[in-house]
Amino acid sequence: MDSLLIKGAVPLHGEVTIGGAKNAVLPIMAATLLTAEPCVIRRVPHLSDVRFMGQILTWLGSDVRFEGDTIRTQARKIKGAGDYDLIRKMRGSVCVMGPLLGRLKKASVSLPGGCVIGARPINLHLKGFQALGARVTIEAGYVHASAKRLVGSAIFLGGRAGSTVLGTANVMMAAALAEGVTVIESAACEPEVVDLADFLNAMGAQISGAGSPTVTITGVKQLHGAEHEVIPDRIEAATYAIAAAATHGEVTLRGARAEHMRAVLDKLKDAGVGIERRGADIVIRRARRLKPVDITTLPYSGFPTDVQAQVMALMALTPGISIITERIFESRFMHVSELTRLGADIEIEGPSAIVKGGKPLSGAPVMASDLRASAALVIAGLAARGTTQVNRVYHIDRGYENIDGKLRQLGARIERIEEP
């Protein structure tokens, strides 16, 4: 397994271009299964998750071609069952279920895998399919859904931790080809859901209200091909912003959308980080002295759970006490033990992490447990004195395109150690 070797305590300076959003491109790729016509998706990041999704679409019968940051697909004739070993590796792959059910009126996929950050059941996805008239069963690790016809319905998709992003996407895609009108209440409001709705509407769907808790889908008989450019990745942008602040640097985030990052930028301002809008770019500057902040992760437009680990690394460097509360995933503190290896003082009390910051971090070997934990450890390593080796970075390759290369362009002393 590859690892990243970081010689820290070097301020980051320069510009970094923010790529397409991983959490938007995966369901958009899945949505191309809804039509037999060609589709073109632009600003696609080079990520292992994207390659996995391409393999899944190919397995299902789609012709998938990668051309730089563009994907061209055509799903002339597809089958309704996904490969078990491919789909179980990546949670995002469950979003092929909605398009298969919508187009073929049947779908069989394995229960999805992904990062180990707590239970992420798909019961709300299945509830939505059942409300559309599908019969759903789970057997031998597979989810089977079938229907003679899908009929629009009123569907409530709220869960224990709020709305479900992938569930909203899945039901929205199935409902696009259902008969009548579907109304999703407690729909996820994330920009990635809006991006998917924009793509579906470009294909001929009739979707309104995306980005609000109520989404209305008027079913159509068929969809056609379309072209689309994926939105910038707000989580990647937030990660580089925090890395700049953690290293006393100044970094320009090229192409980031501040309107998608308000909660993160607001907390960084509260922490004393300088933030300047320059057209479509955002400039991040570290203040002389950082201030502790309290953070609670919430569904959009609240503070994103996908930035919780990274901001914890920043607070570990910040004098004072910060309290970070995780309300989305119950097991998303696995990075804490690794941050303490670097010298961080963090205690867990129920859903909250008490961060007693301000002590200098020192390099050490650490182990990544999931995608965003990997990013947190890289940030900590960039700020720490000495050398940090982040192991199992296949996690970070799932969601960050060429992160070591981009950081080197900003002046970081980081190299990838490739294992045979």
Q: How do the domains of the chain map onto residue ranges?
A: 3-19+232-417, 22-229
User: Is 115 among the catalytic positions?
Assistant: yes
Yes or no: say if 166 and 150 are a contact pair by the CB < 8 Å rule.
no
Residues 65-71, mean pLDDT to the nearest whole number: 97
Query: pLDDT tens, 229-280?
Result: 999 999 999 999 999 999 999 999 999 999 999 999 999 999 999 999 998 8
Q: What residue type is 142 in one-letter code?
A: Y
**Domain 3-19+232-417 fold:** UDP-n-acetylglucosamine1-carboxyvinyl-transferase; Chain (3.65.10)
Separation between Cα atoms, residue 90 and residue 152, nearest integer Å: 29
**In the prediction, which pLDDT does 117 show?**
33
**In the prediction, which pLDDT does 83 show?**
64
Residues 283-312, mean pLDDT to the nearest whole number: 95
**Token digits for 102?**
């919508």
- Percent with pLDDT over 70 in the chain: 95
Query: Looking at domain 22-229, what is its CATH homologous superfamily?
Result: Enolpyruvate transferase domain (3.65.10.10)
**In the prediction, which pLDDT does 389 show?**
97
The SS3 assignment for 205 reads: coil
Residues 87-103, mean pLDDT to the nearest whole number: 84
Query: pLDDT tens, 374-402?
Result: 999 999 999 999 999 999 999 999 999 99
**In the prediction, which pLDDT does 330 show?**
75
Residues 63-81, mean pLDDT to the nearest whole number: 94
Separation between Cα atoms, residue 241 and residue 325, nearest integer Å: 21
**How wide is the angle at C-alpha 408 spanned by C-alphas 402 and 412, nearest 5°?**
125
**In the prediction, which pLDDT does 140 show?**
80
Residues 205-232, mean pLDDT to the nearest whole number: 98
Residues 33-46, mean pLDDT to the nearest whole number: 98
Strand partners, 218: 181, 206
**In the prediction, which pLDDT does 116 show?**
40
The whole-model pTM stands at: 0.95
**In the prediction, which pLDDT does 119 show?**
44
Mean of pLDDT over the chain: 93
Query: Cα(first)–Cα(last) distance of the chain, in Å?
Result: 8
Residues 63-85, mean pLDDT to the nearest whole number: 89
Residues 311-332, mean pLDDT to the nearest whole number: 94
**In the prediction, which pLDDT does 110 show?**
82
Separation between Cα atoms, residue 345 and residue 338, nearest integer Å: 11
CATH fold match for the domains 3-19+232-417 and 22-229:
yes
Yes or no: say if 314 and 290 are a contact pair by the CB < 8 Å rule.
yes
- Any alpha helices (H) in 186-276, and if so which ranges? 191-202, 234-246, 262-270
Query: pLDDT tens, 326-366?
Result: 999 877 899 999 999 999 999 999 999 999 999 999 999 99
